[in-house]
Amino acid sequence: MVSRRVGASIALSVMCSLWGSTVAGPIDAATNSAPATPPPTGPFTVGKVAVQWTDESRIEPLSTNNDARELMVDIWYPAEASSAAPVEYLDVAAYDKALGAKGFKDFFGDASETIKQGVKTHAVSGAPYARSAQRSAVLIFSPGGGMIPEVYTAQLEDLSSHGYVVAAISHPYDAAVTIFPDGRQISNSDKRWPVIPSLEGDANLNQLEWHANDIRFVLDQLSRANVSRASALPFAGYLDLSRVGAFGHSIGGIAAAHACQLDRRIKACMNQDGIVGKKPLYLDVRGWAMDQAFMFILHDAPTRRLSDEEVAEMKMPRERLEQVIRRLDEYQEAVLRNTGKGSYRVRLQSKIATHMDFSDLPWLAAGGHADAEKRLGVLATVRSYTLAFFDKYLRGMKPALLDQAPMSEVVEEVQRFEPAKAPCPLP
């Protein structure tokens, strides 16, 4: 599982353990009924399909047979109203077989029993596209390290209910397991992860490049499907590829930002709580972040003075440690001030939100109704700001949420940074 270890207010890693709750998920004790993902807030029914795409231009270095890079992609989209039963949250039998009983429990943690008993969704498999949505803006999502797309269902269903087509990638060799329609599976490998990230945030650039290029490849495939008469995808011909966004959670958020740096077809990018050494992305040699609009949602508290115990734990003299922290804070500020279309930083209350609250797992593992409501409150806030950001930069809307004082106790502050003028292009 993936979380972030934050020592002395510095994010040192994106590969740690999940949360420490020890109670089962929020099954209604009175009715013994399964929980459902939070209702989508948009006007459209949600459809869902899964596709397998092979990138023949890239040889997978972790493959023993030098196979081409293969991806599984779950796609949510606005659909016509349907009386069909919603699609299952995930294929429990397939994941149980692939991971084993212990592996299943280790991966899903305290949400495992809830997931095994069944979680209701709001998406209908293969439903016809909602033509009243006209042409849909496109979003591509990259999960956190080791994660699978299904555990972000609440976020992705909601965006689709507002008319977006949302493609979520299972990154092979990074996801806990990627399961293909023919039964093949690719398990997680640690060969793309750094052993120990440095204090100042050295990322595994190999992994970052692969995931960013996965995002770009999915966009290529969606573009091809959109003009192909042979495409069986329900939304083929209805994608507006002039309005494309990318976002992700944890390392997926950094990868989404990097995809924006590499590909101008992507018009807006969001990083959900993905930092290495406080860096939500890496500036280029000019000190430039990206030409597009950017939003960074994080749950870390602002830098504070460290206690003597925290300084001792970091094994560094206080003066030197504080210099490092100032440098990292300045780097994050530089990222946000050096974007061509402007940027936002939405800081959640660190005493309320956790790194995993961007996924479904905390509320599925909640210890009773009150705990579930708290976790769902954080997720609802994330859904609201995510929708508002993409509505503004992909649809030209003016959501008040982005430019008003926080209306939720979950949000500590919202900061807006004006568009900057790009430096001279690289030779």
Residues whose CB falls within 8 Å of the CB of residue 145, separated by 6 or more in sequence, listed in order? 2, 14, 15, 174, 193, 250, 251, 252
Task: Convert the pLDDT of each residue in 165-185 to its tens digit.
Answer: 999 999 999 999 999 999 999
Fold for the domain defined by 5-417 = Rossmann fold (3.40.50)
User: What are the DSSP calls for 399-420, one per residue?
Assistant: -GGGGS---STTEEEEEEE---
pLDDT at 219 over 80: yes
User: Is the CB of residue 368 less than 8 Å from the CB of residue 374?
Assistant: no
Task: Convert the pLDDT of each residue in 50-109 to its tens digit.
Answer: 999 999 999 998 999 999 999 999 999 999 999 999 999 999 999 999 999 999 999 999
CA distances from 417 to 107, 242, 294, 422 (A): 38, 24, 10, 14
Amino acid symbol at 194: P
Give the Cα separation of 303 and 22 in Å (integer).
31
Confidence of residue 188 (pLDDT cuts 50, 70, 90): very high
Task: Convert the pLDDT of each residue in 122-145 to its tens digit.
Answer: 999 999 999 999 999 999 999 999
Confidence of residue 198 (pLDDT cuts 50, 70, 90): low
Give the Cα separation of 87 and 111 in Å (integer).
19
Enumerate the domain spans of the chain: 5-417
Which secondary structure element, helix H or strand E, spans residue 6, and what is its range? strand 5-7
Task: Convert the pLDDT of each residue in 352-371 to its tens digit.
Answer: 999 999 999 999 999 889 99
Look-up of token digits 């699978």? 148
pLDDT at 227 over 70: yes
Look-up of token digits 């972790």? 62
What's the confidence (pLDDT) of residue 60? 93
In this prediction, what percent of the chain has a pLDDT beyond 70? 89
Give the Cα separation of 110 and 299 in Å (integer).
22
